[in-house]
Amino acid sequence: MFLEVVTPIKKVFSGEVTSVTFPGVDGLFQVLNDHTPLVSTLKKGDLVYKSAKGEDSVEITGGVVEVLNNKIIVLADGLAE
């Protein structure tokens, strides 16, 4: 599946992943291949994704995620410093 993480300033990540774990407002949740469509709000925390290169993460300050047809788009408010 394809993940794209963007902030108002720049594109943080774009590429193929096998799983993504999000800091949801109501708790952590994970998205795998063929996940049902969803839109959710995110809070400050680590967005963790796994790809062929291994596991990586980026700390966001909040935002929104959309999952549709194995494409995940994260509109992050910003990156935590």
Using alpha carbons, select from 23, 22, 19, 21 the residue that is nearest to residue 2.
Answer: 19
- Residue 81 domain-assigned? no
Residue 8 lies in a domain: yes
Rounded Cα distance between 9 and 40, Å, is 21
The reported pLDDT for the residue numbered 18 is 97
Per the structure, the count of domains in the chain is 1
CATH code of 42's domain: 2.60.15.10
**pLDDT score, position 73:** 98
- The predicted pLDDT at position 81 comes to 74
Q: Is residue 39 part of a domain?
A: yes
Q: For residue 43, what are the domain limits? A: 2-76
Q: Is there a contact between 22 and 29 (Cβ–Cβ < 8 Å)? A: yes
pLDDT digits (tens, 9 = 90+) for 9-51: 999 999 999 999 999 999 999 999 999 999 999 999 999 999 9
Predicted pLDDT of residue 40: 97
| Domain assignment present for 30 | yes
Question: Tens digits of per-residue pLDDT, 45-78?
Answer: 999 999 989 999 999 999 999 999 999 999 999 9
